[in-house]
Amino acid sequence: MKRIGSSKLPQINISKTSTSVGSNFSTTASSSSASSYSIPSSGSTTPSSVSPSNAQAISFAKKRVDYTQKVQYSTNGIGSMGTRSTVIQLLNNITTKREAEQYLKYFTSVSQQQFAVIKVGGAIISDKLQELASCLAFLYHVGLYPIVLHGTGPQVNEKLESQGVEPDYIDGIRITDDKTMAVVRQCFLEQNLKLVTALEKLGVRARPITSGVFTADYLDKEKYNLVGNICSVSKDPIEASIKAGALPILTSLAETTSGQMLNVNADVAAGELARVFEPLKIVYLNEKGGIINGETGNKVSMINLDEEYEDLMKQSWVKYGTKLKIKEIKELLDYLPRSSSVAIIDVDDLQKELFTDSGAGTMIRRGYKLSKRTSLKEFPTEALRDALQRDSDISSGKISAASYLTKLGNTEFTSYADEPMDGLAIVTKAEPVPKLDKFLCSQTAWLNNVSDNIFTSINRDFPSLQWTVDEKDENIAWHFAKSQGSYLKNGKVLFWYGINDLDTISKIINEFTASFLSGHSNNTSNSSNVFVSGQSKKTYSTVSSPKPNGTKTSTSKIALIGARGYTGKNLINLINSHPYLELSHVSSRQLAGQKVEDYTKSEVIHENLQIEDIKALEKEGKVDFWIMALPNKVSEPFIEAIESVNGNSKIIDLSADHRFVPETEWAYGLPELNDREKIAKAKKIANPGCYATGSQLAIAPIKEYLTSEPTVFGVSGYSGAGTKPSPKNDPKFLNNNLIPYTLTNHIHEREISTRIGTRVGFTPHVGQWFQGITLTVSMPIKKGSLTSEEAEKVYEDFYKGEKLVHIQSDIPLVRDIMGTHGVVIGGFKVNDEQDRLVVVATIDNLLKGAATQCVQNMNLAMGYGEYDGIPDEKIVSK
């Protein structure tokens, strides 16, 4: 760092490489009295129009470097406890324990052969056999059975060259004559045996399957000779191997119906396997760890085929095997669900790809083409309005969507969006630099690099740009990486790129700082708006009254997916006593074949429903309502299967997966605080979380009195920790104990904050009782605005007529809420300074926190009385 001039002048920080966000701006400069900014070129002087009274910092950042930790799996002996110990240790270190656990639950929710298809390049077997075997051994030891198919290209080339034969290709396809075919067959058998042997040395049962899977015709006998075009795939050898507890290790050799052996590209064969099995993961392992851009030498991290395929195939470096690979993957993905993707990675990154959100290597997906618009008439109106709800100012009601669109209609702008409008950017004309007025991306858009595609398009059309983002935006590092300069003031960061003269930089900074003097930011969008933050300013009101009387009395058939947990059992009990609901199907992999206990209306046997089963049931109209009682990030394949049929059923999801999406897609099922008409009309309902339900009900009535962030101290019974053994649900460990966990950023903290519309601090704990939650909620309020008695009256008025919310003066006790179907709020106390209100709420986490609320939402959606099937004697009365 070099300082120029006196202490009153700005500091110039020159850095060729920025390794963290902190090097781009000073977090200590976030107060109203301090600012900092950075510019893209060196050798410059202070902008004369920037006040020298505050110390400023100018820094230069060309790129951001991220670091990741790589975990290597090894074994301590065949089938030994050491192996199991290593597996457990590895699970706890794959990026985050949460990711490992959630994906294990995900993968074990489907049949074993649907876990993954892994295509192994021949070079991997030659150069990284032990690493490959180690990774596959890990999967085997945790009960996962990928279908492994390998190639043998490098070995074939080496053998042919040793025989003086030059390998010959057309369009990336090896021309295979009789002599070449003999070498191909020999190499396939050798490499297959080598991999199987390596696995068996690690205690893994592996079955070599070198033929009998692929039946093929000649691709073009005159052109390619003995090269096959697969026309059918036999699943039997693969399923038999997995059923016997052995990993299937396949070659891509095929046969004609008459028995002639044909050579098939391993990438093509892997694609055919994926079409037949529709696995959760499709992974291609190669020695390069992905597709390498032949011009830059850099790894291509993401390819969105719908947007990039045509241009990509015209690139000079896309040729031979690379061209064929991309072409085959496109043809594969064209016939799989749009959510499917193919990962091309190195063996060292296999576990990261399978068990984390971040992945590695090259990810190839269909994605969507981007549309560029310059007029409001070109937009689908409702889709545009829904996308704008991700903007905090619009979702909070600070400005209306109609007002913004009216203003936009009178402005020269260019917009960029994908087809479902998961990502939307609006660039407006401004002097001296165009302004990125809105950058609204859903979580799906961020995870699938739609945000990067949009920004690339903007960068191509606009040589210079400015935009503003909230300092606390969770994607702030991404914005720093996209910018060449930045300026921080009052919690907002002004970013820019493509500006190389100080006069222009000075002008946009002055406009930015002047906006604070007038009481508003110079950008109507305060953040990059991942959908959580985009909805974080929703204002509550009691928009509808309870609906105790229904209009429907006919029976509805219910399918419960995920019945093993405590919530599933409580749902079964409630449905059993419901006058109009009947269980038709109950799916649980662990309980398949066993009778459903505690259900007496008819005999129902647990099933292990697969995707095709669900499609068939939906197509035949045998289910009226689907309940997804599954862990987070597990239900999506089932939901996609239901929706693919376009049937008439409805879905309710008890996980957190759909609590943050726009309500035009999933209604948020908290009837006491949400519009009951929306829930009644919805085809898909997101059931709120247990902590989130109690906390929202405790905070919502005095939202208008809040001055800053409420804090929630929550303690749940150990049933909230699920059925999987852990210290959090071990009564012995919990005896005379209280366990805090997830001290920050708990999923319910996000949910409460998103729905209430203000940040909420939430700290969960586990207590030594079985079920029930107690929440102590401390809320800063306007000084002198409420007394304890007045606060209680506010709550009574707010929840008047709500059968499942009880208000009392005394502090509610968790022992009294166990087994009851509602929320009790009491203990109203305003401090002596009259600027803080504390209330206590209790809720049964398994009932109103899950099962009861599910039934309440289903009643509304099906036209029954809202409280039908919820026993009156188990509701706390006033």
Catalytic residues: 690
Query: Other CB atoms closer than 10 Å to residue 512's CB: what's the count?
Result: 23
- Give the integer Cα–Cα distance in Å for 806 and 823: 6
Q: In angstroms, rounded to a whole number, what is the distance separating the alpha carbons of residues 498 and 39?
A: 10
Residue 360 CA to its chain's centroid (Å):
16
β-strands 823-830, 836-843 pairing: antiparallel
Query: How many residues are recorded in the chain?
Result: 878
Distance, CA of 229 to chain centre: 37
Q: What is the DSSP letter of 165?
A: P
In whole angstroms, give the CA distance from residue 351 to residue 346. Answer: 10
Name which of 792, 878, 875 is nearest 840 in CA terms.
792
CA distance 64 to 617: 50
CB 426 within 8 A of CB 438: yes
What the block records as the tokens of 86 is 């290593």
Phi, psi of 836 (to 5 degrees): -150, 130
Contacts of 833 (CB under 8 A, 6+ apart): 783
C-alpha 476/C-alpha 776 separation (Å) is: 33
> Which residue, 303, 305, 242, 304, is CA-closest to 273?
242
Which two three-digit tokens encode residue 192?
A: 């297959």
Nearest to 358 by CA among 289, 442, 448: 448
CB 185 within 8 A of CB 152: no
Q: Are 379 and 409 in contact (CB under 8 A)?
A: no
How far are the Cα atoms of 52, 61, 279 from residue 43, in angstroms, in the given order?
19, 14, 56
Written as one string, the DSSP assignment of 698-732 is HHGGGGGGB-S--EEEEEE-GGGG-SS--GGG-HH
Residue 156 backbone phi and psi in degrees, to 5: -65, -45
DSSP secondary structure, 289-328, as one string: SSEE-TTT-PEE-EEEHHHHHHHHHTSTT--HHHHHHHHH
Which amino acid appears at position 485 of this protein?
Answer: G
Distance of CA 491 to the CA centre of its chain: 27
Q: Which two tokens stand for residue 522?
A: 């110079």
Q: Report the alpha-carbon distance of residue 829 to residue 788 in Å, rounded.
A: 5
- Structure tokens, 797: 């008025």
Asked whether the bond before 432 is cis by omega within 30 degrees of 0, the reply is: yes
